A and B are shown apart, each in its own frame.
Chain A
Amino acid sequence: MADFLIGLGLPGWLAWTVAALVAAVLILNVIAGGALAFIWAERKIAARIQDRLGPTRTGGRFGWLQSLADGIKLLAKEDLMPEGADGLLFRLAPYVSFCASFCAFIALPFAFDVVGQRLNVGVFFVVAVLGLEVFGVILAGYASASKWSLFGAMREAAQVVSYEVPLGMCVVVPVMLAGTMDLVTIAEKQAGWFTNWYLFHDPFTFVVFWVYVTCAVASVNRAPFDLAEAESELVAGFHTEYSGLRWSFFFMAEYGSMFLVSALAAVLFMGGWNGPVPVATILGLSEGTGDTAAYLVRLIGLANLIGKATLGVLAMMWIRWTLPRLRIDQVMTTCLKYCTPIAAVMFAGAMLWQLFLPAGLLPGWRRPPGEVREGWLEGPGGSAVGHGVPVSGIGPASRDVLATRSPR
């Protein structure tokens, strides 16, 4: 888009700013619109799970305008701040949380080339920025001048920081398979039928996926890991003292993060925008066959990714309305005694598998081994930078090392 604007005669800096703003507004709408849809879905799903109807009247049928009505209510509410609160930090906290959730979306590819900013360290960026969300929560807990909020914040700090470790290890496995940190390339490498997904790549990745799911649920504070806002213990945890729009920012951040970790799972393990069945390829559509075809391909990809991520979010809702909450020590035990060692072992296992069985167990079932190993040697940016361009350091020499070590 920036190139297009430069072509119209705009100066470079202005063109880039306009392009960035357009992307930012689009992503913001994805989060806000997504949050509205998911809050409505959660109300309806929770209601159905609990043998209720949920909202039925707002907006005519199915209560589909309920989230909007809630939003208007929140806007109109008085913005309260406790007397002893630290004003600046109290006001700042929800935006820190929301910004972290929002920024992580920048590097998330929704379909081929439908990405806010393609980063060659996309995975790293998303995980790192998502981890910043905890700062908002800690600020909120600290600045609220409420003991319950403080408890919530301390729990969140302990929990999220711990779960970053196994989460990072799980994320590294697909990165290792693809040989790049670029989310677009990782997704591209899983193109084709669903058997190409990293989820089904080998037994280790399959297990690692479930560890990732556990850690992802814990890192976005959803039940059974919702200790930071455990309503039966801590009233409402870190957002006890928040009301109105500020509270809704926490809420949006939560739903944004839920969608984000689900989308990340889809990109890393479930082929990203590549559906279980390569519909576009079967229909003969590709990027090259013209503008309309390219748009269609992207649309299908978009639907695929959003569909997968939505499934993840729905699963989280299902879990939330079924299970009791864990205790803080049990949460930490789950992380340190189970998730971390399992993730580490699976990481090692996937590494060995990649070394000795790069083609999988069934010959001819997956793409040729040579191409798989190519991934190790690609530069940052993966295929976009160009196939076969070696990174300095692991140049042709290391390619030879790998070739001689190959069990062929």
Chain B
Amino acid sequence: MAHLIDDDPRIIEFDVRTDEMLVNMGPQHPSTHGVLRLVLRTDGEIVSETEPHIGYLHRCAEKIGENVSPRQWIPYTDRLDYLAAMNMNLGWALTVEKLMRHEVSEKARHLRVLIAELNRIASHLVGMGAYGLDLGTFSPFLYAFREREKILDLFEEACGARLTYSYLTVGGATADLPSGWLQKCEAFLDQFEPVIKEYHALLTTNAIFVKRTAGIGLLSREMAIDYGCSGPVLRGSGVDQDMRRDGESIYTGMYDGYAFEVAVQKDGRYPRDHTYPTVPSEAILGDCWHRFFVRMLEVVQSMDLVRQAIDRYAACREPLGEPLKLSEKLPIGDAYLETEAPKGQMGFYVVGNGTSIPWRVRARSSSFSNLSVTHALCRGCLIADVPAIVGSLDIVMGEIDR
């Protein structure tokens, strides 16, 4: 009898079992945007489980913040989201100003809008280029960096640094813009506007790009809210929320009088005040394509805001005002403020105890919440989709690990 079972081809066939394989994607991997480690459980090409491991870039930034004065912590905020350091500076500065009930001059307000929106463009350019890299095309990345480089040149002229600016600070900015800077900025915007069409041709409307992103990594509206997603990830799922419009008054007051429309799909349509490409029929609201597209729309939106800010800043005759002194005492009390950083809602929390050193400092990062959906989005996808999904979340590890 035994030999009959051994010879039965069906039994031999059913005896062949495929095993699941655990694969480490990262922390040293070309497509994990820094030092993210994803543990994939794969069955062939299909990923059944994705578990993000974080902590490889932890630098105790928050604890350091409890040992230095708020202005001294500004350089540490640079290193949170190092691709949008200006926005990090701004978030922290506004939080401390909220605690101290300090109001900056009109000129500083417009300068902040100008600089923050310019950095949003730079950050989204990296997000866009790196996403192309994740999908296996190298050239858009360099096209994006070519333009980002010009923004960095502008920043360098304004504050001397190209990555970690420490420019916007508590009470205003460290210095006023040099003369002739606004003209250069306008020249850049004029030159940059047609380049966006190139990006759309290379990525947004590219057939292979659409095939790789449309319908992949679907994040429903409810899920996006449940997981606490924010920024383009949230708006890519069709949730109409932008802290620049819906935030606290100390932040939204900065954008008082600025005209902008939140980049989100409403009633099946995106705000179309520019020549955007149309949404491909394969794309479903909440997929990788929409998250990417929202970012592209925000680039145009930010350009518009920068133009408005240039006019307003140039119209201001009063001086910029001095930033707060390092030894300035913080009042007893606490303050929490969320701002709209390029990656999402960046929250800072500060507790003052009457000295110049805060008693407690805490940062709430948008990338952290955005990354938490990875596990849900990557269930049952292919290995090639993992970089496509994680890339579309546009995370920065400096901000997650702090």
A-side interface residues toward B, CB under 8 Å? 46, 49-52, 147-148, 151, 154-155, 223-224, 226-227, 230-235, 321-330
Known A323-B208, A324-B206, A324-B209; 16 more pairs at CB < 8 Å: A50-B138, A147-B21, A151-B383, A223-B137, A224-B136, A232-B30, A232-B31, A232-B133, A322-B137, A324-B135, A324-B203, A327-B211, A327-B212, A327-B382, A328-B45, A330-B212
CB distance from A169 to the nearest CB of B (A): 24
Which B189-225 residues have C-beta < 8 A from chain A? 202-203, 206, 208-209, 211-212
Does B384 count as interface, using CB distance less than 8 angstroms?
Answer: yes
Q: Is A226 in contact with B136, judged by CB distance below 8 angstroms? A: yes
Residues of A within 8 A of B127 (CB): none
Question: B138, B202, B206, B387: which has the most chain A beta carbons within 10 Å?
Answer: B138
Note all chain B residues with C-beta closer than 8 A to A50: 138-139, 142-143
Given contacts A326-B211, A327-B212, contact A321 B139 (CB under 8 A): yes
- Given contact pairs A327-B212, A327-B382, A49 touches B139 in the complex (Cβ within 8 A): yes
User: Is B146 an interface residue, CB under 8 A from the partner?
Assistant: yes
Interface residues of B in 340-398 (CB under 8 A from A): 382-387
B184 at the interface (CB under 8 A from A): no
Chain A residues with CB under 8 Å of B146's CB are: 51
Contact of B23 among A147, A224, A329 (CB under 8 A): A147
A226 to B21, CA, bound (A): 23
Taking a contact as CB atoms under 8 Å apart, the answer to whether B382 and A325 are in contact is: no
Measured between C-beta atoms, what is the minimum distance from B390 to chain A in Å?
10
CA distance A223 to B137 in the complex (A): 9
Partner of B211, one of A148, A231, A232, A330: A330
Contacts of A154 in B (CB 8 A): 44
What residues of A have a CB within 8 angstroms of the CB of B132 in the complex?
Answer: 324
**Residues of B contacting A232 in the complex (Cβ-Cβ under 8 angstroms):** 30-31, 133-136, 387
Task: Judge whether B30 and A323 touch: CB under 8 Å.
Answer: no
Contact B137 A235, beta carbon cutoff 8 Å: no
Q: In the complex, what residues of A have CB within 8 A of residue B212's CB? A: 324-327, 330
Q: How far is the CA of A330 from the CA of B209 in the complex (A)?
A: 12
Q: Residues of B contacting A227 with CB < 8 Å?
A: 384
Q: Which of B40-64 contact A (CB under 8 A)?
A: 44-45
B266 within 8 A of A: no
Q: Which residues of A contact B384 (CB under 8 A)?
A: 227, 230, 233, 325, 327-328
Q: Which residues of A contact B31 (CB under 8 A)?
A: 231-233
CA distance in complex: A373, B97 (Å): 90
What are 16 of the A-B contact pairs (CB < 8 Å)?
A: A147-B23, A155-B45, A223-B136, A232-B133, A234-B383, A235-B30, A321-B139, A322-B139, A324-B206, A324-B212, A326-B208, A326-B212, A327-B211, A327-B384, A328-B382, A328-B384
Cα distance A276–B138 when bound, in Å?
35
- Contact partner of B138 among A224, A230, A234, A321, CB < 8 A? A321
CB atoms of A52 and B142 under 8 A apart: yes
- Nearest-CB residue, chain B, relative to A49: B139
B387 CB contact (under 8 Å) in A52, A233, A322: A233
Chain A residue nearest to B209 (CB atoms) is: A324
Q: Does B29 contact A (CB under 8 A)?
A: yes
Closest A residue to B146 by beta carbon equals A51
Of all A-B residue pairs in the complex, the 6 with the closest CB atoms, nearest first, are A325-B136, A232-B31, A324-B135, A324-B137, A50-B142, A327-B384
Query: What are the residues of chain B within 8 A of A46 when measuring CB–CB?
Result: 138
Chain B's nearest CB lies how many Å from the CB of A159? 12
Considering the complex, give the chain B residue whose CB is closest to the CB of A328: B45
Encode B114-141 as 1/0 by CB contact (under 8 A) with A.
Answer: 0000000000000000001111111100
A234 to B383, CA, bound (A): 9
The interface on chain B, measured as residues whose beta carbon lies within 8 A of the other chain's beta carbons, has a size of 31
Chain A min CB distance to B304 (Å) = 26
Residues of A close to B138: CB separation below 8 A: 46, 50, 321
- Complex Cα–Cα for A223 and B142 (A): 18
Q: Do residues A322 and B21 form an inter-chain contact, with CB atoms below 8 A?
A: no
Q: Is the CB of A324 within 8 A of B142?
A: no
A147 contact set on B, CB distance < 8 A: 21, 23
A322 to B143, CA, bound (A): 12
Q: Which residue of B lies closest to A234 (CB)?
A: B383
Chain B residue contacts of A151, Cβ below 8 A: 45, 383
B278 to chain A, nearest CB (A): 20
Please name all residues of chain A whose beta carbon is closer than 8 Å to the beta carbon of B44 when the two chains form the complex. Answer: 154
Q: Which residues of B contact A235 (CB under 8 A)?
A: 29-30
B209 proximity list for chain A (CB < 8 A) = 324
Residues from chain B with Cβ under 8 Å of A223 in the complex = 136-137
CB distance from B109 to the nearest CB of A (A): 37
Is there contact, CB below 8 Å, between B29 and A322?
no
Closest to A51 in B: B146
**Which of B23, B139, B384 counts the most A-chain CB atoms under 10 A from its CB?**
B384
Q: Is the CB of B211 within 8 A of A323?
A: no
Are A51 and B382 in contact (CB-based, < 8 A)?
Answer: no
Chain A residues within 8 Å of B133, by CB: 232
Closest residue of A by beta carbon distance from B21: A147
Q: Nearest B residue to A232 by beta-carbon distance? A: B31
| Bound CA–CA A251/B146 (angstroms) | 30
For A330, give the chain B residue with the smallest CB separation.
Answer: B211
A151 to B45, CA, bound (A): 8
A50 CB to nearest B CB, Å: 4
Provide the bound-state CA to CA distance between A326 and B388, in Å: 11
Report B-chain residues with C-beta under 8 Å of the C-beta of A49.
139
Most chain B beta-carbon contacts within 10 A, residue among A231, A326, A327? A327
Q: Is the CB of B208 within 8 A of A224?
A: yes
* Docked complex Cα distance between A147 and B19 (Å): 13
Q: List the A side residues contacting B385 at CB < 8 Å.
A: 327
Q: Determine if B386 and A233 form an interchain contact, defined as CB atoms under 8 angstroms apart.
A: yes
Known A50-B142, A52-B142, A232-B31; judge A325-B137 contact (CB<8 A): yes
Cα distance A46–B141 in the bound complex, in angstroms: 13
- B143 to chain A: which residues have CB within 8 Å? 50-51
Closest residue on chain A to residue B135 by CB atoms: A324
CB-contact partner of A323 in B29, B137, B383, B387, under 8 A? B137
Chain B nearest CB, measured from A257 CB (Å): 20
**Nearest CB of A to B253, in Å:** 41
CA distance A182 to B146 in the complex (A): 51
CA distance A324 to B143 in the complex (A): 14
- A325 contacts B139, CB within 8 Å? no
- Nearest chain A CB to B34 CB, angstrom units: 14
Contact residue among A230, A234, A324, A328 (Cβ-Cβ distance under 8 Å from B208): A324
Chain B residue at minimum C-beta to C-beta distance from A230? B136
Residues in A whose Cβ lies below 8 Å from that of B139 = 49-50, 321-322
Report B86 CB to chain A, min CB distance, Å. Answer: 26
Please name the residue on chain A nearest to B206 by beta carbon.
Answer: A324
CA A230 to CA B31, docked complex, whole Å: 11
Q: Which residues of B contact A327 (CB under 8 A)?
A: 211-212, 382, 384-385
Kindly state the separation between the CA atoms of A328 and B42 in the bound complex, as whole angstroms: 15
Known: A223-B136, A230-B136. A329 touches B382 (CB 8 A): yes
Cβ contacts under 8 Å, A231 to chain B: 30-31, 136
